[in-house]
Structures are given as structure tokens and as C-alpha cells.
Amino acid sequence: MDRIFRKRVRRADYVAEYQRVYDANKVLFKGQPAVPFTFKDIAGKEVSLSDLKGKYVYIDVWATWCGPCNAEIPHLKKLEEEFEGRNICFVSISCDDSRKAWEKFVQAKQLGGIQVHMGGDKSFMEAIRCKGIPRFMLIDRDGKFLNANMPRPSDQKTWEILNVLPGL
């Protein structure tokens, strides 16, 4: 798309706005260092992206009140089962305002993977340019973005992408 846009669009204001958006999103490009995070899990223990270095990390940014997020839960559970014991972590980052509601939901639904809560700090969402949830990302073993806009667990493309990761 970038090549086509730059080749065909000549209007200066369009080009300037496109360049502004392009530059703002470069931090999410494949190969860029993933946006770091440190959030507390359900037991209150801090979990950081750096703790997971050496493993692939599939991130789900979600909330308990989000219908599309809830629709992905059974599919995410299947992914977690399929790739259990392999070199990948599944991290679900809740942006719920209420930690208590999140804890109750996680326990009631018996959610797996690594469950963490933002604790009201939405700076991570801002850093990854997250305008809507659910949002999925894939990070490589070195902590760099493979795909900052991964398909959902319900999408067959997700399975195809994960199944060909080297060293998984």
C-alpha cells in the first residue's frame, strides 16, 4: 500500500498527513522493539514483557465487557491448548477499569495463559495505537514485533502463522 500511495498520490496535504501517520506507526513495524509492559497478574505478581524473552508472545488486549473479546475466548483457549509446552506464551492484557470485575471474570471463565491487568494505566494502549479491542499482537523471541496487528484466534490465518514460526 505504501508503495502504491507514494506512486499515485501527489496532493501535498494528503502526502503530508499520510507521512505523519506513517511515521507515528513506524514503532509497530515488523522488526521494531515491542512496546514494553509491566502489569500485575491475578495473584498480584508483576509480569513484564522482558520476563518472556526467548519465547514468542501472542498478546490479546481485551476487556470483560467487550462482546468481540468474549467471542474470541474459546478460540484463544484452543490455541493455548494446541501450543501448550511449546516456545510461546499467551498473554491477555485486560484494560478493564475494575480489577475486581476482571479477577472475578478470569476465575469464573477459568482463563488460561498469562492474565494481567493494566491497573488503569492506558499508556500501553496509547503506545501500541490501540483504538479498539480486541487487539492481537505477535512478538518474536528477541522481543521484537512480528505482527502488531495479528489476526484473531478465530481466524485460520493465526494458526497458519503460528505453525510456521521457527523454533516454536
Those residues with Cβ within 8 angstroms of residue 113's Cβ, 6 or more apart along the chain or in another chain: 76, 80, 89, 90, 91, 92
Q: What percent of the chain has pLDDT over 70?
A: 100
Q: Give per-residue pLDDT as tens, 64-78.
A: 999 999 999 999 999
CA-CA distance, 76 to 92, in Å (whole number)? Answer: 10
* Distance in Å from the first CA to the final CA of the chain: 30
50 DSSP 8-state letter? G
Question: Could you give the maximum distance between any two Cα atoms of the chain, in Å?
Answer: 55
Q: Give per-residue pLDDT as tens, 94-133.
A: 999 999 999 999 999 999 999 999 998 899 999 999 999 9
The confidence score (pLDDT) of residue 24 equals: 86
- pLDDT tier at 1, thresholds 50, 70, 90: confident
| Contact of 51 with 40, CB cutoff 8 Å | no
The mean pLDDT value of the chain amounts to 96
Those residues with Cβ within 8 angstroms of residue 59's Cβ, 6 or more apart along the chain or in another chain: 91, 92, 93, 135, 136, 137, 138, 139
| Contact of 73 with 35, CB cutoff 8 Å | no
Cell numbers at residue 10, please? 501527489
- Predicted TM-score (pTM) of the model is 0.91
CA-CA distance, 25 to 159, in Å (whole number)? Answer: 26
